[in-house]
Amino acid sequence: MSARAGAAPPTPVTTRGETVPTVPPAEKAADAVDVTALLERGRTLATPVLRAAVDRLAAPMDTVAAYHFGWIDAEGNPAAGDGGKAVRPALAVMSAEAAGAAPEVGVPGAVAVELVHNFSLLHDDLMDGDEQRRHRDTVWKVHGPAQAILVGDALFALANEVLLELGTVEAGRATRRLTAASRALIDGQAQDISYEHRERVTVDECLEMEGNKTGALLACACSIGAVLGGADDRTADALERYGYHLGLAFQAVDDLLGIWGDPDSTGKQTWSDLRQRKKSLPVVAALAAGGPASEKLAEILAADAKAADVENFSEEEFASRAALIEEAGGRAWTSDEARRQHAVAVRALDEVEMPTRVREEFVALADFVVVRTR
């Protein structure tokens, strides 16, 4: 796939900190849905069960996990931490409703998916050497590498435990899907690490990696409630397709925010992905596009790859790289890709018979994911 294949004419680009990108009005079918309330409901239902599960961990793993989730600070004092957007729990709860079950039926699934997500964050932050997450020091930075490994392992095991202790056939099926998603997550991290050492990564490779790292678990969040509610595999598969493409849309927006996002919103440094020399979608699309800006960018990034102190470059140096990415079409392509994946996700909903209200909520959540600023 070429970076420009099938792309619509670039939309007017936005400057850093603005909302990226706008959803076409045709998809805005669900104006009446209160997405904030939807996210809040998922969080409210899942958090007590998540906390009870984490409380089962032996000391000091319970404390380390509570720090990671933002429930306590580094000194062990209670904190009203930023637990993230909670998109996954909301989806898992809606997923149960898609199968005609009560939202509560999706809760063990929501908790299991959150546990797997946070297992991967703990390990990835250590592997990547990331020192900050959600405006706070990462676990390995505060509690050391051994605790990051150990608590990650514990959360992963706990995820399966929370599902399998339901003791039902449905729980076995749900765990199988969660296991497949976990394997994809690990594959994606392996690809991410190997791409760091490569000079050139294709757009297809980048999309495959992002599908593994972000798509697979969002897909699972979208099917797991339905599976627990007794849905058949055809329904679960369609819901997973919605979630997978929603994940790719989510990640495209993340990649835009990683370069042009407002640090106050994202909690990351300015030009965060450029500092880390990440081969994210805007970068690989710009490199694949050809033309003078693309070639100039390739030259500069090849030199950067050999530089030791990229993270300390000046604001101007990053701004000029970002401008080249934009000029080569990488920003517009990624913005367009987010909309394209959004459309594919919403279309997958047509394959599932579900209450109209639930469908509207899925559409509204897809809209939210694409227009978010953090």
Distance CA 280, CA 274 (A): 9
Distance CA 38, CA 256 (A): 25
**Among the listed residues 13, 29, 180, 319, the single contact to its own copies using CB under 8 A:** 180
Distance CA 365, CA 86 (A): 11
User: Alpha-carbon dihedral of residues 157, 159, 163, 167, nearest 10 degrees?
Assistant: 10
Distance CA 343, CA 286 (A): 23
Stretch that binds its own copies, among 56-64, 67-75, 274-282, 353-361 (CB under 8 A): 56-64
State the helix-helix crossing angle for 281-289 and 203-210, rounded to 10 degrees.
160
Distance CA 24, CA 13 (A): 15
CB-facing half-sphere around the CA of 251: CA atoms within 13 A: 24
Least Å distance, CB 120 to its own copies, is 8
Residue (176 or 357) nearer to its own copies, CB? 176
The reply on whether position 194 binds its own copies by CB under 8 A is: yes
**Among the listed residues 190, 302, 305, 307, the single contact to its own copies using CB under 8 A:** 190
The reply on whether position 158 binds its own copies by CB under 8 A is: yes
The reply on whether position 126 binds its own copies by CB under 8 A is: yes
Alpha carbon 201 to its chain centroid, in Å, reads 20
Q: Which two tokens stand for residue 136?
A: 């706070």
Distance CA 193, CA 197 (A): 7
Q: Which two tokens stand for residue 317?
A: 């140096």
Stretch that binds its own copies, among 162-170, 247-255, 302-310, 361-369 (CB under 8 A): 162-170
The reply on whether position 191 binds its own copies by CB under 8 A is: yes
C-beta of residue 50 within 8 angstroms of C-beta of residue 296: no
Q: Which two tokens stand for residue 128?
A: 């990547």
The reply on whether position 74 binds its own copies by CB under 8 A is: no
The reply on whether position 95 binds its own copies by CB under 8 A is: no
Question: Looking only at residues 218 through 277 of this chain, which bind its own copies when binding is defined by CB under 8 A?
Answer: none
The reply on whether position 165 binds its own copies by CB under 8 A is: yes
Residue (79 or 150) nearer to its own copies, CB? 150
**Among the listed residues 2, 22, 27, 60, the single contact to its own copies using CB under 8 A:** 60
**Among the listed residues 6, 167, 306, 316, the single contact to its own copies using CB under 8 A:** 167
The reply on whether position 160 binds its own copies by CB under 8 A is: yes
C-beta of residue 301 within 8 angstroms of C-beta of residue 273: no
**Among the listed residues 29, 79, 142, 186, the single contact to its own copies using CB under 8 A:** 186
**Among the listed residues 13, 29, 142, 150, the single contact to its own copies using CB under 8 A:** 150
The strand pairing partners of 99, in sequence order, are: none
Residue (170 or 337) nearer to its own copies, CB? 170
CA-CA distances (angstroms) from residue 243 to 129, 248, 307? 29, 9, 39
The reply on whether position 65 binds its own copies by CB under 8 A is: no
> Is the preceding peptide bond at 60 cis, omega within 30 degrees of 0?
yes
**Among the listed residues 79, 142, 149, 371, the single contact to its own copies using CB under 8 A:** 149
Question: Residues in the site for its own copies, rule: CB under 8 A?
Answer: 58-61, 119, 123, 126-127, 145-146, 149-150, 152-154, 156-158, 160-161, 164-165, 167, 169, 171-172, 175-176, 179-180, 182-183, 186-187, 189-191, 193-194
